[in-house]
Amino acid sequence: MKNFSPSIYVASIGLLLVFAAACNGDMEKAAQALGYEMKTVEKVYQADETAGENKTFFRVSYPVFSDGEHAETFNRYLLGWIADSTAVNAAPNDSGNVTLEQLADEFFAEYESVQKEFSVSWPYQFNLDGSVLLNRSGLLTVDLSYYAFTGGAHGNSYTQYFVFDTVGGTRLRLEDVFVQGFEDRLNTFIDGKYREMKGLTVADRLDGEKGMLFDNVIEFNGNFALTGQGVSFFYNNYEIAPYAVGSTTIELPYGDLENILKPQFRKLWMKGH
């Protein structure tokens, strides 16, 4: 039998430690905050340049990510949503590859078409602002919110949240964040928070004069954000209540949700304490 060399053992352990450190460093690097800059495009319809508040215009300002393995994936995802939004119509197959300038031109072309057919006197307006709500621990949350007016009694606003796993490069769903069987408990938290916001007791109806909802129930939806403080759910105009009520935001602290969060997301709460 050959003699075992302590030096070989020490060298092997050293290599393992170096390898582990390198892997850990790669994981930490992947989980770091992503660098980004705000990209803004604003164009005014040529014939309306002196029309003041009544001018037809297109404006978009949103974050464009510049580093990280999946930065371009997130950029295409966000631009695709902007292109496919209800106010700006682009061909679905091209939605992630169009430019904001092209979208503005499409918006004006649609306005011109309507003008010629109906001789409209109102302007077309589209104004979108994006913001980063969370950018750490391998997670990225982006808010895209727009206001659009293309005629009618009033314009409309819309907000969409996006939660990305920056290590895996995917958009997260509620099933990725919460443990199996979370649904009833999450709905209980949302119901309780809404009642607290409106000053309702457990006996008050949600579709009553104070509750102001369409139905006597409020449940989670898929429009959620992970922030530095907790999980937020956004309900757009007409989604759960009349237009006059406006949008509704339900914000639930991580501490309240600890028992239904998956372990990796409990760390967000622990880091805040």
pLDDT tens per residue across span 159-172: 999 999 999 999 99
Two structure tokens written together for 212: 């102001």
Q: 93 to each of 8, 11, 80, 97, how far by Cα in Å? A: 58, 55, 9, 9
CA 273 to each of CA 42, 116, 138, 228, 255: distance values in angstroms, whole numbers, following the listed order: 41, 60, 19, 11, 10
Query: Using 50, 70 and 90 to split pLDDT, how confident is the model at 12?
Result: very low
Separation of alpha carbons 201 and 186, rounded Å:
19
- The pLDDT assigned to 96 comes to 60
Q: What is the per-residue pLDDT for 94?
A: 58
Return the bridge partners of 156, or none: 148
CB-based contact 59:127 (threshold 8 Å)? yes
Read off the pLDDT band of 97 (50, 70, 90): confident
- Least confident among 60-74, 77-91, 231-245: 77-91
Contact 255, 125 (CB under 8 A): no
216-247 pLDDT, tens digit each = 999 999 999 999 999 999 999 999 999 999 99
HSE-up (13 A, CA, CB side) for residue 20: 6
